Amino acid sequence: MSEPADIPIPPDLSRRYGGSAAGRDWLASLPRLVRHCLDQWQLELDLAPGAMPWNGHGAIVVPVRLRTNPSTGLGDGSLGAARRVAVLKIAYPHNEALVEPRALALWDGHGAVRLLASDTGAGALLLERLDAVCSLQDVPLAEAVPVWGALVRQLSLVPDGRPEWQDFDHVAARAEQWSDELPESWERLGRPFPRWLLEAALEVCQTRGAVGRRSGRDVLVHTDLHYLNILSRLPAAEPASGGSEPAGGWAAIDPQPMIGEAEFAVAPLLWNRIRELSRADPERGLRERCRDFSMAAGLDAEVARQWSLAREVENALWYASKPRHEGDLARSLWVASTLTGRTLPELPAPHALPAPGEAAS
Assigned domain for 278 exists:
yes
Asked whether 348 and 330 are in contact (CB, 8 A), the reply is: yes
Residues of the domain holding 191: 135-352
Contact partners, residue 34, CB within 8 Å, separation at least 6 = 4, 7, 62, 88, 90
> What pLDDT does 78 receive?
38
What Cα–Cα distance (Å) separates residue 268 from each residue in 51, 224, 289, 307?
A: 31, 6, 11, 11
Which of 13, 265, 7 shows the shortest CA–CA distance to 156?
Answer: 265
> What pLDDT does 74 receive?
59
Tell whether 70 and 165 lie within a shared domain: no
CATH of the domain at 220: 3.90.1200.10
Q: Stretch 49-68: mean pLDDT, rounded? A: 88
> What pLDDT does 97 receive?
78
Percentages helix, strand, coil for the chain, rounded to the nearest 5? 50, 15, 40
Tell whether 139 and 288 lie within a shared domain: yes
Q: Stretch 200-210: mean pLDDT, rounded? A: 93
Assigned domain for 361 exists:
no
Assigned domain for 358 exists:
no
Tell whether 38 and 12 lie within a shared domain: yes
Given 131, 148, 168, the domain boundary residue is 131
Given 109, 131, 153, the domain boundary residue is 131
Given 77, 108, 131, the domain boundary residue is 131
Tell whether 89 and 173 lie within a shared domain: no
Distance between CA atoms of residues 265 and 257, nearest Å: 10
Lowest mean pLDDT of 87-91, 201-205, 225-229, 354-358, name the range. Answer: 354-358
Distance between CA atoms of residues 43 and 35, nearest Å: 9
Q: Stretch 296-320: mean pLDDT, rounded? A: 97
Tell whether 202 and 245 lie within a shared domain: yes
What's the pLDDT tens digit per position in 67-119?
865 444 555 443 344 568 999 999 998 877 789 999 999 999 999 999 999 99
Task: Tell me the HSE value of 86 on the side-chain side, using a 13 A CA sphere.
Answer: 25
Number of DSSP helices (H) and strands (E) in the chain, helices first? 10, 11
Which of 83, 92, 82, 99 shows the shortest CA–CA distance to 33?
Answer: 92
Domain count for the chain: 2
Tell whether 304 and 342 lie within a shared domain: yes
Tell whether 72 and 174 lie within a shared domain: no
Lowest mean pLDDT of 218-227, 238-247, 347-356, name the range. Answer: 238-247
Assigned domain for 262 exists:
yes
Percentage, residues of the chain above pLDDT 90: 71
Tell whether 278 and 313 lie within a shared domain: yes
SS (H, E, C) 5-58: HHCCCCHHHHHHHCCCHHHHHHHHHHHHHHHHHHHHCCEEECCCCCCCCEECCC
Assigned domain for 188 exists:
yes
Tell whether 46 and 172 lie within a shared domain: no
Q: Stretch 314-331: mean pLDDT, rounded? A: 96
Tell whether 64 and 152 lie within a shared domain: no
Which of 115, 110, 135 shows the shortest CA–CA distance to 242?
Answer: 110
> What pLDDT does 333 receive?
98
Tell whether 238 and 318 lie within a shared domain: yes
Lowest mean pLDDT of 13-17, 152-156, 295-299, 340-344, name the range. Answer: 13-17
Lowest mean pLDDT of 38-42, 76-80, 96-100, 218-222, name the range. Answer: 76-80
Tell whether 67 and 206 lie within a shared domain: no
Assigned domain for 57 exists:
yes
Assigned domain for 231 exists:
yes
Assigned domain for 360 exists:
no
Which of 127, 3, 135, 134 shows the shortest CA–CA distance to 63?
Answer: 127
> What pLDDT does 163 receive?
87
Most confident region among 96-100, 215-219, 346-350 by mean pLDDT: 346-350
Bigger pLDDT: 80 or 231?
A: 231
What's the pLDDT tens digit per position in 324-344?
899 999 999 999 999 999 999
Q: Stretch 215-242: mean pLDDT, rounded? A: 82
> What pLDDT does 211 receive?
72
> What pLDDT does 77 receive?
42
E-only strand ranges, 34-123: 43-45, 54-55, 59-66, 85-91, 115-119
